[in-house]
Amino acid sequence: MLLRPPRLPRLSPRRLRSDSPMASTLALLRPSAPSPATNLRAPFRSRVSTRVSVGSAVAAGADTLFADYKPTTAFLFPGQGAQAVGMGKEALNVRAAAELFDKANDILGYDLLNLCIDGPKEKLNSTVISQPAIYVTSLAAVEVLRAREEGQSVINSVDVTCGLSLGEYTALAFAGAFSFEDGLKLVKLRGEAMQDASDAANSAMVSVIGLDSEKVQQLCDAANEDVDEKERVQIANFLCPGNYAVSGGVKGIEAVEAKAKSFKARMTVRLAVAGAFHTSFMQPAVSRLESALAATEIRSPRIPVISNVDAQPHSDPETIKKILAQQVTSPVHWETTVTTLLGRGLEKSYELGPGKVIAGIIKRINKGASIENIGA
């Protein structure tokens, strides 16, 4: 059990209890040098539900508000697989960050910070826990940054944001499309719905390392020739050159693993996830998400948020709702997102949240790209 430093006087109605990752081949991409966390100063109160959650009031019915965006500084938020026991420790030193976990406890009904810091690993890795945990820890990282000298200036400079799968919800919260609380409720339901969809089918995911996307598609086609339609596979995550995640029925995944060497893949690694995310296997989760999104107030984001579904920013709230519902059954186009941002002039990126998976992916796409990690 980690010995924690004394808590600052709390402002929320509940105390953070003192008793209070999913394995992924993305870990292969983590850079070795962590960013130092220095010059922390605790702000009086959390500003995630005010500064982060106040969206633009500009009408965006045509969904073209950000069509000509020119990015310079980006906030990037991680997805499921980035979680690790011990994350969230820095939130104890920044009151605004700690308060987010306190608010999360009320919504989730359990001590999230305790699970993040102390585990157990198996529980933290579950879909229903890891998704809320990463969402809250990533927004807590925003508060950790804000508490640093010049941190607010960095936050003010951000003119585009996006997140990997689950991280898209975090990005939308940061951009003010919905409040911290509403975003957490959506993420909680998303994790539960995806877990239920996974339990209903025998499916899996595998990362294919060392091939380009065209070769991985050919590998999927070859595997699909050997299995029934219900076992078929597809590319689910277009991450970066040489790393693409494939989802589908277990027999289809096994066929991919068996044939990978003949396609000159360096290796395959089965992902420790609940099921075939970002494929039609997640279709049972869509209707639940649609209902929850329909009941959620979503505003036009104050800055562009790049969608996983089509690698484009959207400003119309109704379009954003449709995109988020589609996201769980659609491939994640992260490689296109990053190359587009860099091509449009992106100069500096910050990865906010647990791990350094995104930093590794960015460097695989462009070794010269500038990115810094801000943990919590």
Catalytic residue numbers, as ranges: 165, 278
SS3 235: strand
Dist CA 161 CA 346 (whole Å)? 11
Dist CA 164 CA 171 (whole Å)? 9
Give residue 51's region: left, alpha or beta (phi > 0; psi -120 to 50). alpha
| CB 28, CB 81: distance < 8 Å | no
| CB 370, CB 342: distance < 8 Å | no
For 70, 147, 313, 325, the CA distances from 65, given in Å and listed in that order, are 12, 31, 9, 21
Dist CA 4 CA 93 (whole Å)? 10
Dist CA 232 CA 361 (whole Å)? 27
Dist CA 301 CA 295 (whole Å)? 18
Q: What does the block give as tokens for 118?
A: 């102390």
